[in-house]
Each structure stands twice: as structure tokens, then as C-alpha cells.
Amino acid sequence: MERGSHPRRPPRRRAALTTTGARSPTGAASPATRGRAVGSGAVRPATIARVLRSGLEESVHVGHVAVCDADGRLVAWAGDPRRIVFARSTMKPLQAAVSLAAAHEDLPDHELAVVCGSHNGEPIHVRGVRAVLARAGLGPSALRCPPGWPLDRETMARAFRPRRELHTCSGKHAGMLLACVRAGYDLASYLQAGHPLQRRVLRAVRAAAAPDAVVVGVDGCGVPVHGMPLTSLATLYARLARPERLGALAPGVARAVAAMRARPYLVAGRGRVDTAVMETVPGVVVKGGAEGLVCAALLEPGLGVAVKVEDGGERAAGPALLRVLAQLGWVDPAADPRLAPLARRPVRGGERVVGEITSDLALRRAGGGRGRRPRNIA
């Protein structure tokens, strides 16, 4: 190697996308899917949040943003908008719509919001989970999500042990169990990708977001999780705002969106960005997911937003989302005392605030000086 030269960094591997989700036990793509990876791997992530302590930039979080319309056109972005991500809990509104369709049953807003949510495990959330299970003639022991602790610190301090109904995904599982009871599906195997309900979910994901490009994995709560380009996830959220685009799924999606808007506290709870934005800002639906993922549907313009923090740091997701919504003209976090501490999260030193986690992310806009023209990416 010549003096002063540097070894070339090997390209980062991206998951192979497949319509079947077939992968070897090691996680490598199967022969049927090898070579079908999506994503250039050459687009650098953008800085989406900064951690400031005592006037010094102590850390930065990088990531990716996609803003799409219901036709799948890329409207604005940062980083690599085609970064492949697992949708994690941002898929819950669509999963809830599938459960409603399979059950042939509607739910009151407070129960449906819990089914759509990733709740804190506060008493109001647990009551909602138990109410959905009671409709199916079941108790918490039927849940196949792992036992969990409340996410809310005050509630956690009063919890004696982890329980299944306290798990943040227990509402989704309760909704799936209700669907299985009403449709006559097996209850014991509802986590399996080959279960009739999960096959219905996969068909819905393809129809709503990614017809040819879905990775099927296992989520933290045990159900199948769906991976796709970030643009496909943003398109899905745009279609939540335009449910008429979703055919037979439209009634369930419209109900899920209405319930989340009507009862936002049941979706997440105290101190959560999903709840705070929906309680404060008209015409927006927000749903977070694990590993620094958060999505929003802007109902009136029919736009979907998907934000992914590259390192999975969830502390950066809220400030980044609020920065994106501000640039789209949807919120002014500085003017609202309920949103300001989520847009500029305090950093503490001892008992004092000595800094903040904030975002100065700049979106690139399609058709603008720095961006490309919109093109269909769904």
C-alpha cells in the first residue's frame, strides 16, 4: 500500500428483499433471493439530532427520512430514503385493520386505540387490553407476547413483576386473539408466519405498501415483522390518510386512524411523542416503533412521513420527527409548551438542565435545487 493511502472500506451489507421472506437460518439470503437487494448503500445518512452538553456537541445521531404521497411519489427526504427497515410497531394501525376485518367486529375507540398502540402499561392501558380479551372470552394468559414491565416509570414502581398484559404490544396481541376467536383460527399458533391471520397481514402489507419487496422477520413481541424501503413505509402512512386507496382494507384503516385521533393517550401514554403530537396537533396520526423508527400520517395533504435513526437511538426520533413536521409547515414546537420539551429534550447534569437533544435536520425537496423530481417509488 502506498504511503498516505487508506484501505477501501467494504460496502455495508443490506438485507435482501423478497416476496416470501425466505432466508437461511444464518440470516443470509436464500438462493432464491440472493442478488435482489434493494438500496444503493452509497447514500450517506444525514445528521438528524445533536446532543449538546454544557455548550459542547457531545454526540450526534444520523439517520434517514422519507416523505411520500399516496401515489408513492417521494416529496422530501434526508439521508437514504430507500434504506431498508423493519416496520416494527409502526405497522400496528394496519395490523389492527386486518384484525377488525378478520373478526367482522368493530371496537370502541378506547379499545381500538390500545390495539393500534405501543402502550406504557399504565392502568388505563391494561384495562383496555383486558376489555378486548374479554370480548373474546379470554384472559391475559392467552397472550403470547412475553411478560413485560410498564414503560412508564411511575407505573413500573408499583408493578410487582412483569406480566403479559403489561407488555407494550399486548393490545395488538389482544386484537389478534379476538380476530382468531371470531374467525375460528387456532389461538396457540397465531405468532407463526404461516398462521391464517399472519398471512392476511402479509397480504395487506403488500397491498398497502410494498407489493414486491417485503422481508419477513420476527418482531420483539414474537409476531412477524415486515421489512421494506423507508419510502414504502412512508407511502403506507400516506395511504392511512387516504384509506379509500386501500380497497377492502379501507373501513378498518379508517376506524384505526379515527380511534388513534380520538384517544391518543391510549396509543402510547405519559411522556410519549406519539401521544403528545396527536393531543396537540390537529390532523396528524403518529406511531413510533422500536430501534429509532417513527412515522406520521398528515391527513389533509395526504402525506406520509417515516424517520429512521440509524443507530436505533430512540431519544433522537422525537426531535427529528418534530423537525420534519416543522419543515413541512405542520407544527411549531417552540410555540407549544407540550411539544417544546420533546423537540428539545433536556440533558441533565445532576439536578440541573445543562443541555439538550435537538434537531436541525434540513429536508431535501423533490423538484428543488438540491433534490430530484418526484418519481413513483411504491
**Secondary structure of residue 377 in the 3-state scheme:** coil
Angle at 128 between CA 125 and CA 131, to 5 degrees: 155
Cell numbers at 143, concatenated: 397472550
Residue 177: what pLDDT?
A: 99
Residue 341 belongs to a domain:
yes
Residue 13 belongs to a domain:
no
Residue 371 belongs to a domain:
no
Q: Are 208 and 236 within 8 A, CB to CB?
A: yes
Per DSSP, what are the bridge partners of residue 376?
73
Residue 372 belongs to a domain:
no
pLDDT, tens digit, 9 for 90 and up, residues 68-103 = 999 999 999 999 999 999 999 999 999 999 999 999
Residue 217 belongs to a domain:
yes
Cell numbers at 284, concatenated: 396528524
Amino acid at 272: R
Q: Are 120 and 269 within 8 A, CB to CB?
A: yes
Residue 51 belongs to a domain:
no
Angle at 100 between CA 95 and CA 106, to 5 degrees: 140
Closest CA to 92 of 214, 204, 194: 204
Please tell me what DSSP assigns to residue 367: T
Total domains, the chain:
1
- DSSP track, 270-335: TT-HHHHHHHHSTTEEEEEETTTEEEEEETTTTEEEEEEETT--GGGHHHHHHHHHHHTTS--GGG
pLDDT, tens digit, 9 for 90 and up, residues 111-162 = 999 999 999 999 999 999 999 999 999 999 999 999 988 887 777 767 778 8
Q: Are 94 and 253 within 8 A, CB to CB?
A: yes
Cell numbers at 166, concatenated: 403489561
Measure the CA–CA gap between 120 and 274, rounded to whole angstroms: 12
Q: What is the CATH number for 116? A: 3.40.710
Q: Are 325 and 67 within 8 A, CB to CB?
A: no
Q: Are 66 and 74 within 8 A, CB to CB?
A: yes
Residue 355 belongs to a domain:
yes
Question: Rounded to two decimals, what is the model's pTM?
Answer: 0.86
Q: What is the mean pLDDT of the chain?
A: 87
Cell numbers at 176, concatenated: 389478534
Residue 253 belongs to a domain:
yes
Residue 42: what pLDDT?
A: 67
Residue 157: what pLDDT?
A: 67
Instruction: With a cut of 50, list the residues of the chain below it in pLDDT.
Output: 1-40, 369-378
Give me the domain span that covers residue 235.
57-365
